Amino acid sequence: MAKIVVIDDEGSIRETLDMFLSEKGHTVFKAATAEKGWQLYRQHNPEIAVIDIRLPDCNGLDLLGRIQSEASFTKVIMITAFQDMDTTILAMKMGAFDYIHKPLDADVFEEAINRALSMLQADRETATIEKISQAPNLQVIIGRSDQMRKIFKVIGILCQNRATVLIQGETGTGKELIARVIHKNSFFAQEPFVTLDCSAVVGSLMESELFGHEKGAFTGATQRKVGKIELAGSGTLFLDEIGELSLNLQSKLLGFIQRREYTPVGGQLPQPAHCRIIAATNRDLFAMVGRDAFRRDLFYRLRVVAIQVPPLESRQEDIADLVHHFLRKINYELGTSVNKLQTGIMDRLMRHRWAGNVRELENVLVEALVRARGGIILRDEIEAILSTNRAIPKSGLASYSLSNMEKQHIQHTLDLLGWNRTETARYLEISLPTLRAKINKYGLMPSNGR
With helix as H, strand as E and coil as C, how does 331-399 read?
Answer: HHHHCCCCCEECCCHHHHHHHCCCCCHHHHHHHHHHHHHHHCCCCEECHHHHHHHHHCCCCCCCCCCHH
Q: In the structure, what pLDDT confidence band is assigned to residue 392 with cuts at 50, 70 and 90?
A: very low
Mean pLDDT for the stretch of residues 103-118: 89
> Contact 62/53 with Cβ under 8 angstroms?
no
* Residue 149: DSSP 8-state: H
pLDDT at res. 393: 47
Alpha carbon distance 46, 3 (integer Å)? 5
Residues in the chain, total: 450
| 39-53, 284-298, 390-404: least confidently modelled range | 390-404
Q: In the structure, what pLDDT confidence band is assigned to residue 399 with cuts at 50, 70 and 90?
A: very low
Average pLDDT of the chain, as a whole number: 86
| Right CATH for 146-308 from 3.40.50.300, 3.40.630.10, 3.30.300.30, 3.40.190.10 | 3.40.50.300
Q: In the structure, what pLDDT confidence band is assigned to residue 157 with cuts at 50, 70 and 90?
A: very high
Are 3-125 and 146-308 the same fold in CATH?
A: yes
pLDDT at res. 390: 58
Mean pLDDT for the stretch of residues 358-379: 88
Enumerate the domain spans of the chain: 3-125, 146-308, 314-442
| pTM of the model as a whole | 0.72
- Alpha-carbon distance values, 154 to 95, 142, 324 (Å): 48, 15, 25
Kindly report, residue by residue over 200-233, the tens digit of the pLDDT.
Answer: 877 668 888 888 888 877 777 778 888 899 999 9
> Contact 369/338 with Cβ under 8 angstroms?
yes
Residue 400 above 60 pLDDT? no
Residue 449 above 70 pLDDT? no
Q: In the structure, what pLDDT confidence band is assigned to residue 10 with cuts at 50, 70 and 90?
A: very high
* Residue 265: DSSP 8-state: B
Tell me which residue of 248, 140, 235 sits closest to 198, measured CA to CA: 248
Indicate left, alpha or beta for 15 from its phi (over 0: left) and psi (-120 to 50: alpha): alpha
Most confident of 5-19, 189-203, 210-224, 321-335: 5-19
| Right CATH for 3-125 from 3.40.50.2020, 3.40.50.2300, 3.40.50.920, 3.30.465.10 | 3.40.50.2300
Mean pLDDT for the stretch of residues 41-61: 92
Measured N-to-C along each axis, helices 357-371 and 379-387 cross at an angle, to the nearest 10 degrees, of: 130
> What is the architecture, at CATH level 2, of domain 314-442?
Orthogonal Bundle (1.10)
**Is the model more confident about 414 or about 177?**
177
Mean pLDDT for the stretch of residues 33-56: 93
